[in-house]
Amino acid sequence: MFEFRDLFQWDRFITPTIIKTFYWLVIVLTILFGISGVFSGLAAMAVSPFGGFILVLSSIASVVVGIIFSRIVAEFVLIVFRINEHLGAIRDQGQLR
């Protein structure tokens, strides 16, 4: 976990520690929007059954795609920071010789 003083020092990155929180926040928002879309689709079925059905299916598909995409983005951010750490370790090894 990070401390408050880490916000004012540039020795350590705080993003890797808080990216998981943002990931779960995006998951919750994606699910809430998906539920909203499903209910909108069910309400639209009263006017147009086919259109409402398509809206329900697209809402469910967008939840699945949103969860997968948010995981990919979170992993990409973590990979970038891990690459930075590995490059720093390689640089430190080169300075010892």
Whole-number Cα distances in Å, 60 to 49, 68, 85: 17, 13, 38
Residue 14 φ then ψ, to 5°: -100, -15
Above pLDDT 90, what percent of the chain?
64
pLDDT at 65: 97
- Over 90: is that where the pLDDT of 2 sits? no
- For residue 1, pLDDT over 70 is answered with no
Residues near 95 by beta carbon (within 8 Å), at least 6 away in sequence: none
pLDDT of residue 88: 85
Average pLDDT, the chain: 89
Put simply, whether the predicted model's pTM sits higher than 0.85 gets the answer no
Higher pLDDT, 59 or 85: 59
Closest CA to 81 of 19, 1, 24: 19
Q: Which residues contact 88 (CB under 8 A, 6 or more apart)?
A: none
CA–CA separation, 23 and 48 (whole Å): 36
CB contact at 8 A, 52 and 41:
yes
Q: Is the pLDDT of residue 3 over 90?
A: no
pLDDT in tens, 37-84: 999 999 999 999 999 999 999 999 999 999 999 999 999 999 998 898
User: Domain segments of the chain: what residues?
Assistant: 16-96
